[in-house]
Amino acid sequence: MKMLLAALLAAASCATVAQAQTGVPVQNAPTGPVYTLDQAVAAAGGSAPASEAATAAVQAAQAGRTVAGLRPNPVVQGQIENIIGSGPYRGLRSAESTVGFAVPIELGGKRGARVAVANAQLSRAEIQAAIIAADVRLQVTQLYVEAVAAERRVVTARDQARIASDALRGASVRVQAGRASPLEQQRADVARINADANVERQLRLAEAARANLARRIGRPVDGTLDDTLLDQLPGATVYGPMAPVETAGTLALAAANADFTIAEAGVRLARANRVPDLNVGPALRRLEATNDTAAVFTVSIPIPLFNNGRAAIAQATAQRTQADAQRRVTALDIEQAITDAQAQAANAATTARAASGPALAAAQEAARIARIGYREGKFGQLELLDAERTLAETRVAAIDALANYQNARAQVERLTARAPNGGNQ
């Protein structure tokens, strides 16, 4: 009778184990419509402080463009001469009062040079806003992928815990029937305790991943996440020489080009500032002694004696040289970064295809054979537990590999993101 009971319990354990491999939904998981990655990115873009700062920077640059195009304000002048002197100039009897205004006339193309600098700064602010938007998308994508992967790990952990519990029940029956050593039951109990603890750990990690995603997008994550995101893999390709990296128009290079354009416009402005401006304007003079009035026309021009603008030109020229060298460095760095990221993404895709394909299929087949052999008495419990443990570890490795590929792909997309208007400066 004990032998029959042990066989029945073992068969039930194997059936439950087989059912566990199909996967079960995470308990207490949010229900409702799927909350997609694009929705999360859109929500994060509207609430991220960095995006708000970038928008304010663009608005400030637009205001700066308006300011740069304004002309200098006229100056109202007034003066009283020949007062509080001696002889005929005692008191106000010989006073001469002059009232007028002067209009600054900018020479050398200063206004156009200021506008060119402001336009370059506005373009740079727009590129920076695009960089921040790309960074936000990368961050949200990584958090979203981690949240999806964490929920899959919870499913795998619960499957493993169910397997361990069934194995413990089967071991207990075998010990009671005298067919196994008490050590087998103790091992099964240790495996069950570790599996239950792993479920708790994975649940906490899944909750933390979802909370981090909600914190980044500035709102609770409604509905379920798009679980199919992890399974989107490129087709297998034959290894060959990597395609040349095209960096033109990328955000990083566009930002470096914009910095060079600002520096180049600064050189033009420094040269324009060397040309002295004129101040011209009419005035009206009243002579107190005769109660007559007369017109006065004034012209003034500064003398570039102490500051002739050469130092400013030298400074601007050096900054332009620095910006030019920096954009060449950026071009090399971005080429290297894209090459490395593409290689990492390709390797991650290869690993993910192997882990979620042949390796997982082999582990599933090994577990199936172990379950059949255990039912028929050809394999012991240790062989069954080892096969099931290998299957669980392979499933976790497949989840990690799929998540790594999605993160690597997101990094490539970030590095190759195009600048506004193609990054033309």
**Number of domain units in the chain:** 1
Q: Is residue 390 part of a domain?
A: yes
Pairing label, strands 278-287, 34-35: unpaired
Per-residue model confidence (pLDDT) at position 20: 38
For 218, the domain range is 2-71+106-274+309-423
Helix/strand/coil (H/E/C) assignment for every residue in the chain: CHHHHHHHHHHHHHHHHHHHCCCCCCCCCCCCCEECHHHHHHHHHHHCHHHHHHHHHHHHHHHHHHHHCCCCCCEEEEEEECCCCCHHHCCCCCCEEEEEEEEEECCCCHHHHHHHHHHHHHHHHHHHHHHHHHHHHHHHHHHHHHHHHHHHHHHHHHHHHHHHHHHHHHHHHHHHCCCCCHHHHHHHHHHHHHHHHHHHHHHHHHHHHHHHHHHHHCCCCCCEECHHHHHCCCCCCCCCCCCCCCCCCEHHHHHHHHHHHHHHHHHHHHHHHCCCCEEEEEEEEEECCCCEEEEEEEEECCCCCCCCCHHHHHHHHHHHHHHHHHHHHHHHHHHHHHHHHHHHHHHHHHHHHHHHCHHHHHHHHHHHHHHHHHHCCCCCHHHHHHHHHHHHHHHHHHHHHHHHHHHHHHHHHHHCCECHHHHCC
Please state, in angstroms and as integers, the Cα–Cα distance from residue 370 to each residue in 124, 375, 386, following that order: 63, 9, 9
At 31 the pLDDT is: 58
| Residue 300 belongs to a domain | no
pLDDT tier at 49, thresholds 50, 70, 90: confident
Cα torsion at 186, 189, 190, 196 (round to 10°)?
180
Q: Is residue 82 part of a domain?
A: no
As given in the structure block, the two tokens for residue 386 are: 């080892």
Q: Identify the CATH number of the domain in which residue 198 sits.
A: 1.20.1600.10
Assign 160 a pLDDT band (cuts: 50, 70, 90): confident
Question: Has residue 287 been placed in a domain?
Answer: no
pLDDT band at 375 (very low <50, low <70, confident <90, very high): low
Residue 385 lies in a domain: yes
98 burial (CB, 10 Å; 0-12 / 13-18 / 19+) is middle
Q: pLDDT, tens digit, for every residue of 351-371? A: 999 888 888 899 989 988 887
pTM: 0.79
Q: 384-402, pLDDT tens digit by residue? A: 778 888 888 899 999 999 9
Assess whether pLDDT exceeds 80 at residue 149: yes
Segment 70-81 mean pLDDT? 89
Q: How confident is the model at residue 4 (pLDDT cuts 50, 70, 90)?
A: very low
How much is the mean pLDDT over the chain?
84
Task: Judge whether residue 425 has pLDDT over 60.
Answer: no
Over residues 144-161, the mean pLDDT reads 93
User: Is the distance from CB of 222 to CB of 47 less than 8 angstroms?
Assistant: no
Reported confidence tier of residue 26, pLDDT bands at 50, 70, 90: very low
Between 1 and 107, residue with greater pLDDT: 107
Lowest mean pLDDT among 26-35, 100-109, 260-269, 331-340: 26-35
Any domain includes 125 = yes
- Give, in order, the Cα–Cα distances in Å from 20 to each of 151, 161, 366, 372: 16, 10, 15, 16
Q: Which residues of 363-402 are buried (b: 16+ CB within 10 A; e: fewer)?
A: beebbbebbeebbeeebebeebbebbbebbebbbbbbbbb
Handedness of CA 13, 16, 22, 25 (dihedral sign): negative
303 lies in a domain?
no
CA distances in angstroms from 168 to 1, 19, 70, 184, 297, listed in the order given: 20, 17, 84, 9, 108
Question: Residue range 24-49: average pLDDT?
Answer: 73
On whether residue 283 sits in a domain, the answer given is no
